Homo-oligomer: A and B are copies of this chain.
Amino acid sequence: MDIKEIQLKDLDPEAFIKDQVASISEAVGDGLAVNALSGGVDSSVVTLLGHRALGERLKTYFIENGLMREGEPQHIVDLFAEMGVKVEIVDAKDQFFGALKGVTDPEEKRDKGITNVFYKDVFGKLVKDCGANVLLQGTNYTDVEETLAGVKRQHNILEQLGIDTEAAYGYKVLEPIVQLRKPAVREVGKAVGLPEELFSRPPFPGPALAARVIGEVTPERTALVRAATTIVESELCDSGAFQYLAILHEDKVTGLRDGKRDFGHQIEVRCWESTDAVTGEPTDVPFTKLRTIADRIIAEVSGVVSVTYNIAPKPPSCIEAV
């Protein structure tokens, strides 16, 4: 590919920020830019770069797709308000769950359920309505690399796949951090003024919790994996791991409820050691901690009778399950 990586060792964060702010200013001119903030480090960095370049001429939306962490939309809006950046929450839960209804195929989930709804139905309309001529997007170097290699279909890769965004969606796409991998993005985030909670938070997948529900993604099933995610994140946030997550399986397994044989849900916990998500090793989490996590999930997430911990590396596994 013709994008040149800036490696962490070669990164001068201040110079990088200056360059990107200048590029954004030049591309937008007297116009408006728009971006979607998910609360992950990538889109958070892009939001601050765009805000530094354009101030109020950057419109930032948080798309509430119903697939985010517990309490996430308001929490992210509050964090950015403290930095002087206004973020608008757009409630699109019904549109996403409508598109995801009955969809169980993983690729279809990402494409039909997430990408199309996001770009065409929800965000595409917002971009047109707000009159922006530029869309700022948080694509990073690993996203591009994995999509081109066929490893994963990132929802934010379009031009690299030969899709003309201006023709297809009506706006130009700018990708300020496309030359950086995650550790470099975090460095820029620190330098540009993100609070530590945001620049050091574990990666969250593009399709959000839909990437952690095997089988159909319904509001009810999403609520189960969201509750398990809260527990896993609170128990492992001090682990120093690259990423940690909970997955809801479609398989039901035999369990006991009130002393009777019954069938219940299984939650899988994963915790990864990685620098760039390209390869990963499961973390050697102390067994007592794993047992605490399992006990909490069983006690706090309705209908769960079984909890497992991933012990396979990537490859051949992936970080997420979908």
Contacts and interface: CB of A to CB of B under 8 A. Distances in A.
B255 A317 contact: yes
Nearest to A255: B316
Contacts of A254: 106, 152, 318, 320-322
Nearest to A281: B291
Q: How large is the interface on A (under 10, 10 to 19, 20 to 34, 35 or more residues)?
A: 35 or more
A223 interface: no
A263 B311 contact: no
Interface string A242-258: 00000001111111110
Contacts of A256: 151, 314-318
Given A153-B261, A260-B149, A316 B287 contact: no
A293 interface: yes
A261 B314 CA distance: 12
A149 B262 CA distance: 12
A264 B315 CA distance: 12
Main secondary structure of the interface of A (DSSP, over half): mixed
B106 A263 contact: yes
B312 A260 contact: no
A227 interface: no
Interface stretch (A32-40, A60-68, A75-83, A301-309): A301-309
A309 B307 contact: no
B308 A264 contact: no
A99 interface: no
Contacts of A259: 149-151, 315
A214 interface: yes
